Structure 1
């Protein structure tokens, strides 16, 4: 079995954290304080990661979908555990929906959406057959590219003279209310909750003792980078930041250095498709491996094609437009009624029960 290195785990987790937030703009509901929302979400997300890594240590050698049967028994644990691969499959279809919407509104206006999204899905199918080894190597190669592009963007923005620090002020104009509304429930789950999928792969790392530090570091750095993106966007767009669906894409269109460097939206496109591609690949790999372990199929690759077809079909049909896709399905339904129970509530309950079984009951039996 291939074992991913510490650097590869960091690169995968970091890019996965960026996800589609890097192009959508995090916390627009908080207005010019969006960057504060991101930093607070990342800080609180550390406590969520501590829950996940504690469960990993208490269930040594087991993956996410094996934790619940191990502690709750097969009859209760398996029905709960199977919800996670289903959620990962659904979330992968949502990212495909994000790709569909961005392509149709910013890039290829007249190209049939099924063609572009199908090509995206085929590439994901290819990397799924390669497995965690291919994904981890892809991540370690693209990680420095993303950092270099970020530095180039910052340099060009400063050189363009379009940034105005005064647009970031006044800080906390409306108090902490809008910030906290962004932080919970959406911010914490986006910053750390979705990272639970890596519990499907932590058993395949070369240095499991470093997982907690690597995951926390990646969350903090990714959160800081997204906060910086928000600050850059707000310093240029001002109060209009919250009105743009793709603020980073809009921001890059305003870059103009001399007469030869302008309209660098291609950087935003590279950001988006790289992070979306890896994000979707991880979600689908976690989904098919989860199903494989629960139904005891020898090779997860048998599930790869059906999973990609389902994700593509859902991604193309789950919503009619971006308003329904993001503002209704995501904010109104997915986050409060699915993410909170599965990313926060169930792992916390599992941690408490596991602790009682391993500490309290063991003490009673030996007393």
Structure 2
């Protein structure tokens, strides 16, 4: 790992924008329908539990990243394989995020631009900042985080001023009972994993923090803030568009902002959504890519991370384009292959097993 330290505010902003990621634009509310905002709150509660599991592992191994303490827990051979699985998984999820951003950008602003060109330019930008170091990446989060807040305020202001918000679209609450809400939060597609459970990737970054005692407090606060905003965003989309249009739209926020028409003068503010997604996915994909590279450096005992950033970035760009033929296939893969066969084992089952084994090892050592 490089010699770097992250401040508390940098950690808060990195985790906040990581959680926002593509979740702020992409809609996953088929089962819960108008009660998706409630499913998000329940998923946030489950995500907090998963974050506390990663924090528990950090307390046992405060100076080691995930790939290193996996070898301490499972032994050098099984632990190495576990670390490799996480390294590949991080790169795969980064590719999913790059693909979703590229699809939104092409849909909203540049329909004639090839998908590979958009993905390549975006990934190279991420690679350049990461090449300068994680501290530079974190300072960039401080700057762009302020811009993100400003864009959010402006966008919400115009949505309300335009008069397109109809709270009656959210009524009645719990129209279909708790079953679809619980299915959306914890089954398929599950908000427990996307986006809250994905914060387990920060187990690779915890050793960088300059205040280890503040990890729990700041991490929980960031998850709660991001969860409340995502829940509000889901409710706003339904209030503006209605349930049927939200279900039909692959990018509900884009459709919501597209309704803005203030005095027949301020229209077509799709760029606000694209800029928001650009900022959030820049950090989410960047964190995943950086953690994957750190995993490679740790597992293969390389001298530094810089030599691996651009090769890993090229793999990431091509993988994002090749993983699906279109957005429909990409979404279907996310609800089956990603959730069931990758995310649940690596973000729920293995962390729980690692924490139990680490607890037993430390008790036996004492």
Q: CA deviation at 1:113?
A: 2.2
Q: In the aligned structure 2, how far is the partner of 1:115 from the partner of 1:252?
A: 26
The reply to whether residue 210 of structure 1 matches residue 211 of structure 2 is no
Q: CA deviation at 1:212?
A: 1.0
Give 3-state SS (helix, strand or coil) of 2:191's partner. helix
Q: CA deviation at 1:72?
A: 1.4
Question: Corresponding residue for 2:271?
Answer: 266
The reply to whether residue 362 of structure 1 matches residue 365 of structure 2 is yes
Question: Corresponding residue for 1:25?
Answer: 27
The reply to whether residue 230 of structure 1 matches residue 234 of structure 2 is yes
Tell me the matched-pair count: 361
Q: In the aligned structure 2, how far is the partner of 1:162 from the partner of 1:173?
A: 23
Give 3-state SS (helix, strand or coil) of 1:188's partner. coil
Q: CA deviation at 1:245?
A: 0.7
Question: Corresponding residue for 2:111?
Answer: 109
Question: Corresponding residue for 1:63?
Answer: 65
Give 3-state SS (helix, strand or coil) of 1:22's partner. coil
Q: TM-score scaled to structure 2, two decimals?
A: 0.96
Q: CA deviation at 1:178?
A: 1.2
Cα shift readout 1:324-359 (whole Å, capped 9, x = no counterpart): 1112x1101110111001001001011111111112
Cα shift readout 1:213-263 (whole Å, capped 9, x = no counterpart): 111111111111111111111101112212211110111111122232222
Question: Corresponding residue for 1:191?
Answer: 195
- RMSD over aligned CA atoms reads 1.3
Q: In the aligned structure 2, how far is the partner of 1:308 from the partner of 1:114?
A: 13
Q: CA deviation at 1:145?
A: 1.6
> Match for 1:90 among 89, 92, 99?
92
Question: Corresponding residue for 1:333?
Answer: 337
Q: In the aligned structure 2, how far is the partner of 1:317 from the partner of 1:72?
A: 34
The reply to whether residue 351 of structure 1 matches residue 355 of structure 2 is yes
Q: In the aligned structure 1, how far is the partner of 2:184 from the partner of 2:341?
A: 16
Cα shift readout 1:274-327 (whole Å, capped 9, x = no counterpart): 111111111110000111011111111111111011111111111111111112
Which structure 1 residue ranges, 4+ long, deviate > 4 Å from structure 2?
Answer: none
Q: CA deviation at 1:170?
A: 0.8
* Runs (5+) with no aligned partner, structure 1: none
Q: In the aligned structure 2, how far is the partner of 1:148 from the partner of 1:112?
A: 31
Q: In the aligned structure 1, how far is the partner of 2:102 from the partner of 2:269?
A: 21
Q: CA deviation at 1:184?
A: 1.3
> Match for 1:242 among 240, 247, 261?
247
Aligned 1:113-192 pairs, distance under 5 A: 113-185=115-187, 186-192=190-196
Give 3-state SS (helix, strand or coil) of 1:187's partner. coil
- Greater mean deviation of Cα atoms: 193-202 or 254-263: 254-263
Cα pair 2:98 2:320 within 8 Å, conserved = yes
Q: CA deviation at 1:26?
A: 4.5
Cα shift readout 1:38-67 (whole Å, capped 9, x = no counterpart): 111111211111111001001121111112
Q: In the aligned structure 2, how far is the partner of 1:203 from the partner of 1:102?
A: 34
Q: In the aligned structure 1, how far is the partner of 2:30 from the partner of 2:162?
A: 24
Question: Corresponding residue for 2:16?
Answer: 14
Q: CA deviation at 1:28?
A: 4.2
- Greater mean deviation of Cα atoms: 204-213 or 179-188: 179-188
Q: CA deviation at 1:68?
A: 1.1
Q: CA deviation at 1:99?
A: 2.4
Cα pair 1:163 1:232 within 8 Å, conserved = yes
Q: TM-score scaled to structure 1, two decimals?
A: 0.95
Structure 2 vs 1, CA of residues 112 and 362 (structure 1 numbering), >3 Å: closer, same or farther?
Answer: closer
Cα pair 1:42 1:188 within 8 Å, conserved = yes
Question: Corresponding residue for 2:102?
Answer: 100
